[in-house]
């Protein structure tokens, strides 16, 4: 099941609303993607320069912490390089799309609870130019500013999503339950 305040972009089981309405529904696994707007290190200059209310970051950190502390045995919280690393705890793993078959670079931190590190599935060689497809010559993301840039930048790469589903889905199935008696519950994915 996916959960978001926004409607789903694809067909499937989706709860549109506050994740805390359903977080206690006896889930096996949650992969959370909390908004990074007020957490990412790359955007903190807005706060440190006094152009954004610091309370927005405090609130975002509290939301992040509540997700990480949810009553779910297996949790992954995904975010870019963020202040959660210094204000909550360091991530367990930092991955890149190019480790999962994509010709892009985007350092992505994973905070894990009850899950093993994600294994790379298709590590690509660094391009001869030294830049991945999504980078400018200075190394910045070359996606131009737009009304939906935040949405485009926040999408999870399919290779990473597949690795999470295959590896951690198997982790749930290999749990302590007697599989002959087990009826799989839906896994909660916060978008």
CATH number, domain containing residue 9: 3.40.50
pLDDT of residue 109: 96
Q: Is residue 81 part of a domain?
A: yes
Q: Is residue 178 part of a domain?
A: no
Q: Is residue 189 part of a domain?
A: no
First to last CA, the chain: 10
Beta-bridge partner residues of 110: 78, 93
Q: Is residue 179 part of a domain?
A: no
CB burial of residue 101 (10 Å; 0-12, 13-18, 19+): middle
Q: Give the pLDDT band (50/70/90) at residue 147.
A: confident
* Structural domain total, the chain: 1
Greater confidence (28 vs 132) lies with: 28
Q: Give the pLDDT band (50/70/90) at residue 138.
A: low
pLDDT of residue 93: 98
Q: Is residue 15 part of a domain?
A: yes
Each residue of 98-133: pLDDT tens digit?
Answer: 999 999 988 999 999 999 999 999 999 999 988 888
pLDDT exceeds cutoff 50 at 182: no
Q: Is residue 111 part of a domain?
A: yes
Over the chain, what is the mean pLDDT? 85
Determine the structural domain holding residue 163 and report its residue range: 2-172
Q: Is residue 180 part of a domain?
A: no
């Amino acid at each position: 099941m996916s959960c978001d305040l926004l409607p789903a972009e694809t067909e499937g089981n989706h709860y549109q609303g506050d994740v805390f309405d359903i977080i206690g529904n006896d889930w096996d696994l949650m992969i959370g993607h909390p908004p990074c707007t007020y957490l990412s290190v790359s955007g903190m200059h807005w706060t440190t320069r006094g152009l954004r209310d610091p309370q927005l970051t405090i609130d975002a950190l509290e939301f992040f912490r509540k997700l990480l502390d949810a009553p779910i045995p297996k949790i992954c919280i995904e975010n870019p390089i963020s202040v959660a690393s210094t204000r909550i705890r360091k991530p367990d793993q930092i991955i890149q799309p190019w480790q999962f078959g994509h010709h892009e670079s985007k350092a992505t931190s994973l905070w894990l609870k009850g899950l093993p590190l994600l294994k790379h599935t298709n590590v690509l060689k660094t391009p001869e130019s030294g830049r991945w497809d999504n980078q400018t010559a200075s190394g910045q993301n070359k996606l131009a500013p737009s009304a939906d840039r935040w949405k485009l930048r926040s999408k999870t790469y399919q290779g990473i999503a597949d690795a999470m589903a295959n590896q951690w889905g198997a982790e749930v199935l290999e749990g302590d339950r007697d599989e002959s008696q087990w009826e799989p519950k839906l896994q909660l994915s916060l978008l």
